[in-house]
Structure 1
């Protein structure tokens, strides 16, 4: 099973803002703090890709074989410390040293937390024991496809914010970025395609 092809709806977005419904998804994940793009950030990103490769090998040549390569990241702030941070100014309102993140790669629902823990105990990888099973139901979300460098998101996110506001929604969960294009530190970012997705709820 190719996760990317099997769940095409999840990995597809238009360049114009839109509303989508996202159900429960299972992931391998690792937590982090601080601004994205640090050496530690990229070390964790590389390690989770290797971890999932090991997981894929566990099920290779069985009826449960799968492939999952797309790296995703959830970002959030502790609201009790910094207050409410909206979609449009997510990266510009608060010191990014206070940012929390969870790097994830989607896995089939049949893989349970116990399997992740078993591999974490034996894998000879950096951060191996920090990997964990994570499930999340985003529900109603606003999203769009951002093309180009990550820095351009500072202009794209206000577009998503405007769409949410005009449709009577407010941000209600973690900011979610799906990196459809493989990327490593130091590479050109001109070709990147990134889904920007934010859970929302109706304003009352």
Structure 2
């Protein structure tokens, strides 16, 4: 019995053009862990590694069954507390506010049939995982969004995001939720970033101004 490969099953979700585009993103289910501060810290990478290990433990429970699945693409949702920072738009998301004020959710998509009970069962099997008790089920519907595929180092996003912002503005759209990044190529601290492929996605609504 073949395992459900989420990248193949939700192909459009994991696909973006190098040119900005408008897409509609339906509800998705994730296992995730929260954090705050700059995404380049040691604890950020520790949480990301722990999440990958946890999802692997979850997958192993279903090996050979009709619920077997494969999912290992890391996604990050980023946001600021706007009561503290004010509105932060797409194009200047990483340059307007001190990144120490950034909040994030590291996530990996799972099949819809994964439940809180499944997570609790995996927690008991992952006793050596330092963040096991912090993993939670997360459901999210982005809806109408703008997105673009960014190639290369993360630092280059400072040039790509303004392009996405300009596209949204031309379409009469404005940012309406968390900035979302899908890391199609896994990256660990210290590795070269030249080969990275990252979907940059932001939910939007019609700008009534």
TM-score, scaled relative to structure 1:
0.99
| Distance of 1:37 and 1:79 partners within structure 2 | 22
Query: Deviation at 1:113?
Result: 1.6
Unaligned runs of 5+ in 2: none
Alignment of 1:124-203 (within 5 A): 124=127, 125-203=129-207
Shift of 1:86: 0.2
- TM-score relative to the length of structure 2: 0.96
Residue 13, structure 1, aligned to residue 16, structure 2: yes
Counterparts of 1:47 and 1:154 in 2: how far apart (Å)? 28
Provide the C-alpha distance between the structure 2 equivalents of 1:12 and 1:142, rounded to a whole number of angstroms: 13
For 2:28, the equivalent position in structure 1 comes to 25
Gaps of 5+ in 1: none
Alignment correspondent of 2:42: 39
What's the Cα RMSD here? 0.7
Q: Aligned equivalents of 2:55 and 2:107: distance in 1?
A: 10
Q: CA deviation at 1:120?
A: 2.0
Answer yes or no: is the 8 Å Cα contact 1:120–1:130 preserved in 2. no
Q: Secondary structure at the match of 2:97?
A: coil
In the TM superposition, residue 115 of structure 1 has moved relative to its aligned partner by 1.4
Q: How many residues matched?
A: 204
User: Which deviates further from its counterpart, 114-123 or 167-176?
Assistant: 114-123
Distance 2:141 2:53 in 1: 25
Distance 1:105 1:35 in 2: 20
1:111 and 2:114 are equivalent in the alignment: yes
Q: Which 10-residue stretch deviates more, 118-127 or 161-170?
A: 118-127
- In 2, the alpha carbon distance for the partners of 1:112 and 1:202 equals 34
Which consecutive aligned stretches of 4+ in structure 1 deviate over 4 angstroms post-superposition? none
Stretch moving more, 118-127 or 34-43: 118-127
Does structure 2 conserve the Cα–Cα contact (< 8 Å) formed by 1:28 and 1:105?
A: yes
Q: Could you list the per-position Cα deviations for residues 114-146 of structure 1 after superposition, in whole angstroms to 9, with x for gaps in the alignment?
A: 211232244120110000000000000000000
